[in-house]
Chain A
């Protein structure tokens, strides 16, 4: 076991003003921005390269806007419950933390359930990643993009839920001995979770509304 003490895990670095964990998660989020940037850039390139009459709108491709809107609200709500769970912790309100974190996890799971319901709806209508736009005789890449982008986003949601579950049930034991360190971990998980919400804020209009 490493007995070495690595500084700036709880107290911020004098020059940067942040903890190592916070700097680390932002560097990671920068890489995630580049990942989703590459995905969006591909969407743009493929769409611009295809004449407009051969590119379906979200609705034409079989997407359900009301369900997508509900999912968007679900994720936005989970974002505020996430930040509230962190704020509760900073105000020493452990019960509040548990409730809000539980809500965040629940809303995350709700998002996934609604998503899988959407997927199964599409599959039952014969819409798969490799199948083209159903109404037209000429296939397009829209469905491939829809499944890949939302699928990758969903994977990120799953990872976020897993981390939050760990924090709520196992990581929470750190609160007694090092409350600030635990609050830092929750904040870092929150930053990741907000980012996942942020991606959906762009994904939803791009795929469903345009």
Chain B
């Protein structure tokens, strides 16, 4: 119901909005800024890895004395960059973008709802996210610097680390609260606010992926919340939840109570962090599904198996976490249990990917920019998934654990995987949000350069890892076996800087296209889902009248229809 109502002031409209679209944009812009920051941290690390001990060009002179020595990176700063790169990218970049931005903006529209079920809770979620993010970034400038014990914050190191770790823990508490509240909102919204006629199996796959993701957030994050509270108690109240007895640091036994278990942290952390990686990929798969169906002008192949696979995957994701802990001394029975569940969980993943690939068969493919990213996603995610298999089995994991192979594996899934899906989503929904189209040439340039450089970064890592080079090392060239792999490091580093430059056409395109005079059509991609049934950008309340749905989400090329797309919200003859 978009009735006339008094114009809201600037603060109520743009800062303290309860409208899911505004909140989605807030999440999106904030997340993109955080992604840029997280990427910049890595670019500095890449210099140290490629040219150890040399002064960082351009920015070296401006960095603090505790960070650099005459412009060359100090080891402790390297560790801070490493821990914060992971933390920022996962918790402040991808999840807020995939769920907070895309989820918030698109889901109510795709289900025909006027807003989320709890708009004020939605606003609170964004604010909690922002506060958490600010705390995380502020930690760099506190005495002792930012957290430097890896994004995984393992005790005992994290327990005794500098105050940056305490900031990390407080930041996480806010970020977790944000995700919990958001997850509740998504579940209730999707279950309750679907339009008339929009049964569960007529939902766009994107909405299904957000529903499962929301369950993962709600049921898995509390474990890390508990762990963070325990670690805060260890650091601030002197307890020893995670500090083992007789811990010796720097040659001296530390004055702690002892009797704790570092493995307890690992269990609680990974109980969240494994479902978390599915949180990172599922919304991306949802976006890819939308883009592929739309640009093949065919229904998705295997929609139902894909949905069942999603549900099964979500459930299984709670049973595999200790495959991150194979080397912690667990017995063969439990190791076998986790290897079995890990192998089983690859099945639904493969089903979803296969269905997406088969969806291309016999299609009249439109090679739009979003479609290029979507097609590239498929083999990239394939590589990411396949390289996970030796890690999921305990025997090869003995050699590959904590090497660059692991970094290569998970970045393949998240970088040319999820991030490509994010790009696809931005190019695909940009006309919906802004009413303008993005420039084609800049889009093609962005795509091809990104694809090449992504592979340039992460493919060498797989080989570096197999050569035995450990991760999280300030200067791997201290080891002979790593020196031999140094050429690979150079390829990775230069590709990383190349990837950074490749984003310039995207950034220009993103901001410049908004100011174009020429408006895009209402439904420029000729899509069938509900978000295209309303004005661009959609008004407050989204739809003039509550929409009614008559068919499935991907009724493309229906035999006998006039056009090659039959929108869900239009009643078809016969």
Contact = CB atoms under 8 A, between A and B. Distances in A.
Touch between A and B in complex, CB under 8 Å? yes
Contact of A30 (B18, B185, B218, B264): B218
Which 9 A/B pairs are nearest by Cβ-Cβ distance?
A: A130-B238, A144-B239, A35-B222, A38-B226, A34-B222, A38-B223, A4-B114, A4-B541, A139-B257
A49 interface: yes
Most B Cβ at <10 Å: residue of A28, A39, A42, A140: A42
B318 to A, nearest CB: 10
Contacts of A13: 191-192
B239 A148 contact: yes
A4 B237 contact: no
Contacts of A144: 233, 237, 239-241, 257
Interface stretch (A19-27, A106-114, A173-181): A19-27
B464 interface: no
A2 B191 CA distance: 22
Interface residues of B, number: 52
Contacts of A145: 241
Contacts of B185: 24
Interface stretch (B115-123, B424-432, B455-463, B549-557): B115-123
B562 interface: no
A24 B117 contact: yes
16 contacts: A1-B6, A2-B119, A2-B540, A4-B1, A6-B119, A23-B188, A31-B219, A38-B222, A41-B267, A42-B226, A42-B264, A46-B264, A128-B238, A141-B257, A144-B240, A147-B239
Contact of B188 (A24, A30, A39, A49): A24
A30 B219 contact: yes
Contact of A39 (B19, B187, B192, B226): B226
A8 interface: yes
Given A16-B192, A45-B264, 20 more contacts: A3-B1, A4-B115, A4-B541, A6-B117, A7-B192, A13-B192, A20-B117, A24-B184, A24-B185, A27-B218, A28-B180, A35-B226, A38-B227, A45-B267, A46-B261, A128-B238, A129-B237, A130-B238, A130-B257, A139-B258
Contacts of B541: 3-4
A190 interface: no
Nearest to B268: A38
B5 interface: yes
B37 interface: no
B238 A3 contact: no
B333 to A, nearest CB: 17
Given A31-B180, A34-B219, A20 B118 contact: yes
Interface in B225-268: 225-227, 229-230, 233, 237-241, 257-261, 264, 267-268
A54 B245 CA distance: 13
A158 to B, nearest CB: 16
For B227, B264, B540, the residue with the greatest tally of chain A CB atoms inside 10 Å of its CB is B264
B287 to A, nearest CB: 24
B442 to A, nearest CB: 37
B118 A5 contact: no
Given A7-B193, A28-B184, A141-B259, A152 B19 contact: no
A118 interface: no
Nearest to B181: A28
B49 interface: no
Given A3-B541, A31-B221, A8 B1 contact: no
B530 to A, nearest CB: 16
Give the residue among B183, B188, B220, B227 with the most A Cβ atoms within 10 A: B188
Interface in B309-364: none
A16 B12 CA distance: 34
A160 interface: no
B126 interface: no
B261 A148 contact: no
Contacts of B218: 27, 30-31, 34
